[in-house]
Amino acid sequence: MKKQLPSSLDHRIITLGDIDEENSNDVIQFIHDINYIDKNKPGKPIKLIINSYGGDIYRGIGIVDAINASITPIHTICYGAALSMGFIIMAVGHHRAASKNSTFMYHEILWSLSDEKLSTHRRELEEGKRIMEIYDNLLYKHTSLTKSKLDSIKKENRDWYMNVEEALKYNIIDEIY
């Protein structure tokens, strides 16, 4: 008889790739399941392994909110990449680690507008500004990145790639594996 391996719930490990509806809901559900098991008493930490190019900002903020609401500590661990929305999720972990060859990336949110009336564009612009403010405020709270640093990146209209040493310098991670 083949021995059955313990489930990921037993190990408290979940992985996150690109952030879409399915992946984000799986991570949020996993966090809630572990918190239910722990019944308001923090247990062994959850390991959220990240290798992500990013994805949907609203779904990513849902993951961030689940991490922030978790009574069980969540350790974010990057193997490969934590880019865009993956970058924010990585930064909000209760303990954050990365492999020595990991890459991180910050940029302004990507926002597309459809062929709509001007009034629709105005509303979309306001929503884009609101969500960008949430995105940046999460970084100010969980890292040592400053408004002036992030504003300079946005002014240059570029993607800011970082290696693990830079991520450590800006307190995006706590340790390098």
Would you give per-residue pLDDT tens digits along the chain (177 residues)?
A: 444 445 666 789 999 999 999 999 999 999 999 999 998 777 899 999 999 999 999 999 999 999 999 999 999 999 999 999 999 999 999 999 999 999 999 998 876 666 678 877 788 888 889 999 999 999 999 999 999 999 999 889 889 999 999 999 999 999 999
Using CA atoms of 31, 33, 34, 40 in order, give the dihedral in degrees to the nearest 10. Answer: 100
| Residue 79 near residue 108, CB atoms below 8 Å | no
Give the per-residue pLDDT at 119. Answer: 79
Distance CA 157, CA 155 (A): 5
Give the per-residue pLDDT at 120. Answer: 79
In the DSSP assignment, the letter for residue 40 is T
Residue extents of the structural domains in the chain: 8-176
| Residue 42 near residue 71, CB atoms below 8 Å | yes
- Element at 111 (helix H, strand E): none
| Residue 75 near residue 95, CB atoms below 8 Å | yes
In the DSSP assignment, the letter for residue 100 is T
Give the per-residue pLDDT at 111. Answer: 66
The CATH superfamily assigned to 8-176 is: 2-enoyl-CoA Hydratase; Chain A, domain 1 (3.90.226.10)
Pick the closest to residue 34 from 66, 76, 79 (CA basis). 66
